[in-house]
Amino acid sequence: MCGLPINGLSAKVAQRQEKSSFPVGIVEGFYGRPWSHEDRLEMIRFMGTIGMNHYCYAPKDDPYHRKKWREPYPEDEYKKLKELIRACQRARVTFCFAVSPGLDIEYSNPDEVRLLLDKLELLARDGVRAFALFFDDISSTFPQTRDQQHFHSFAEAHAYLANSVYNALREKYGNVSLIVCPTEYYHSDPTPYLTELAAKLHPSVPIVWTGLGVFSARVAPRDLLRIREVTGRKPFLWDNYPVNDWDDGHIFLGPIRNRTPLMPLNLAGYWSNPMNEAELSKIPLLTIADYFRSPEAYNPETSWRNALRRVGGTRAYPYLLRAADLMAGSFLSEEEGRVLCALVGDYFEAATPASVGSLREYLQQLLELETHLDRTLANRRLFEELRPSLKRLRLHVRNLQLSLRINEIGTTSPEAIQLRAQLQRGLVAVDTPVTAPARGSEEWNKLLRDETTVFEGNVADEIFATIQQSFFSRWTAETSPSLPRVMAAPPAWRGCFGEFAVDGNFETSYTSRNPWKGGEYLAFDWQRELPKGTAIEVSVEGVERWKAIRWPELAIEVSPTGARWSKIGTVSGASASVKTQQAFRFVRLRALQDTETRVVIKELAVR
């Protein structure tokens, strides 16, 4: 039995939490729109109330944190920083001040080290005792060539700078802590950089780690073992959840998941990297605080519902839950749109009065969400941060209502033809971002009030697109029964569904909403057996990214049954043509690896 030792370890976790010396909190380390001063003050107060005890100040957009690291803060800026320090003291939260000097520092120059120390000492004199040096997201060569003569490696320079700062601060201020974020923070391999940094860095300075990859769907015990072994210390976990700066404001409201009960035993500390939306971040943060309060008992679902109730209040809870269910997906979990999928599933299975009624009622509730939340949410900032997604939701819901109506009256009636044109416009609108003005500006607020314009937010977008693909396939089967049938299609963008890749028209195309993940595919049933020797011709459109046209790497695969596939060729440019060596009925294009851009297939034809 393994019950006993694990229970013993859990007790150890609990003891550590009681001592509350274990740092758990947030790192304000995201790119894009920084939090306002009020956001920060409120967040610190909130952290104190939920048992989070560590706030690392590291906004990428604070010039004095990164670009202008040498320069002292101007008086008014420093005044704000001091208010944050005081707020942390009041909330019993450790204020950790981070600097990122790596863009242009000359490591071997004593004047540079002095300037860095001056900056940190300014805060030390105001009571700050926790510091961090970030060497993330910089080039891995010396910015100043003179350093090449002083250090034989980048790791040596990083360890030297960190140790110099750490020792100097400790000598003068006693109990000072330092955390270092290395340039390689996303793997656990014994690379020369990580090995040397670990060997030379003071043993009581924790090294930041994001888990494997920058975004860790899970943090496995064996990976923790490995990073501890490679760095000779417990990692300080920088958890890139729910941060959304990488995905144009995508809202992540789901609870933290896949952090095992004993994980804290293997950590020197934990930071969550939050969203640009401070109030909405509180929902996942509450679940993180819950997890650390008792990792063994943590239940994501229960914790999440409690978090929604706490952040939104009891009156708004049913509405907030309804909205959050549509924004709960992330790299951690695909538990999103559960009610929507269940009701649409019932409807597709059999459009009975009951299934139609339930779906209609639910869609009506979604349409009214914004009004209800406006009425019941006392937390106005939360409401404002939700609004772009609620606006987007209305467009999705109206499109879905149109599809239900078209299905009801039959696709070929004159009214249906008109409604389908209207639906097509709606599908384009939902995927058309408008160049957004600065958030919070007057134009921003005006756009928010404009019902027809959507430019940000997310609400089960992939699910709505997948449902629309299903409707479109049903209608196409009715109106053009001889066309190949779509078996599977990653969610389409602007109504450019899978059928447009087999309609014989080079002006139309299937276009995906997102880049394809490796293994994702667009598959067709030709509805008849095609003989050996048939040629398959594929025509792809390149998509521009970083000023170059990118082409996806796709395998062309055929199958007689639709279950077992044979790869017969690849397409990695504008077109490809291959002859089949076997009879087949099914054809698919499968991504050999993650594609860089959305995938556009103009035509897939057999001859």
Instruction: Count Cα neighbours of 315 within 13 Å in the Cβ-side half-sphere.
Output: 8
Structure tokens belonging to residue 279: 């109030």
Strands 535-541 and 554-559: unpaired
Residue 538, strand partner residues: 576, 604
Residue 270, strand partner residues: 24, 237
User: Interacting stretch for Ca ion, rule CB under 5 A, among 123-131, 191-199, 421-429, 500-508?
Assistant: 500-508
Nearer to Ca ion, 296 or 541 (CB): 541
Nearer to Ca ion, 590 or 602 (CB): 602
Minimum gap (Å) between residue 465 Cβ and Ca ion: 18
Minimum gap (Å) between residue 498 Cβ and Ca ion: 10
Minimum gap (Å) between residue 541 Cβ and Ca ion: 10
Residue that the structure tokens 């943060």 belong to: 285
User: Interacting stretch for Ca ion, rule CB under 5 A, among 2-10, 329-337, 499-507, 524-532?
Assistant: 499-507
Minimum gap (Å) between residue 513 Cβ and Ca ion: 18
- DSSP 8-state code for residue 439: T
Is the separation of the CB atoms in 572 and 553 below 8 Å? yes
The arrangement of strands across the sheet holding 269-272 comes to 177-181, 130-134, 94-99, 54-57, 24-28, 269-272, 236-239, 208-209
Q: Which of 138, 137, 150, 136 is nearest to 107 (CA)?
A: 150
Count of residues engaged in binding Ca ion, rule: CB under 5 A: 5
Nearer to Ca ion, 74 or 504 (CB): 504
Q: Give me the helices (H) in 151-191, please.
A: 154-173
Minimum gap (Å) between residue 507 Cβ and Ca ion: 7
User: Interacting stretch for Ca ion, rule CB under 5 A, among 400-408, 427-435, 492-500, 513-521?
Assistant: 492-500
Nearer to Ca ion, 72 or 573 (CB): 573
Minimum gap (Å) between residue 56 Cβ and Ca ion: 51
Q: Tell me, yes or no, if 137 is annotated catalytic.
A: yes
Nearer to Ca ion, 424 or 508 (CB): 508
Q: Which of 302, 298, 299, 303 is nearest to 285 (CA)?
A: 303
> If 0-12 CB within 10 Å is exposed, 13-18 middle and 19+ buried, where does residue 531 land?
exposed
CB-based contacts of 368: which residues, under 8 Å, 6+ apart? none
Residue whose C-beta lies closest to Ca ion: 508
> What is the spatial distance between Cα 59 and Cα 57, in angstroms, rounded to a whole number?
6
Among 505, 572, 575, 593, binds Ca ion (CB under 5 A): 505
x/- mask, Ca ion, residues 305-344, rule CB under 5 A, reads ----------------------------------------
Rule CB under 5 A: say whether 294 interacts with Ca ion: no
> What is the spatial distance between Cα 213 and Cα 292, in angstroms, rounded to a whole number?
23
Binders of Ca ion in range 544-603 (CB under 5 A): 603
User: Interacting stretch for Ca ion, rule CB under 5 A, among 28-36, 247-255, 506-514, 547-555?
Assistant: 506-514
Nearer to Ca ion, 339 or 605 (CB): 605
Strands 130-134 and 177-181: parallel
Among 508, 514, 559, 582, binds Ca ion (CB under 5 A): 508
User: Interacting stretch for Ca ion, rule CB under 5 A, among 251-259, 391-399, 438-446, 496-504?
Assistant: 496-504
Minimum gap (Å) between residue 506 Cβ and Ca ion: 6
For CA atoms 491, 495, 500, 501, the dihedral sign is negative
Structure tokens belonging to residue 89: 């003291």
Q: Which of 603, 336, 599 is nearest to 489 (CA)?
A: 599
Nearer to Ca ion, 211 or 498 (CB): 498
Of the candidates 126, 137, 247, 525, the residue annotated as catalytic is 137
Is the separation of the CB atoms in 98 and 134 below 8 Å? yes
Binding site for Ca ion (CB under 5 A): 500, 503, 505, 508, 603
User: What residues act catalytically?
Assistant: 137
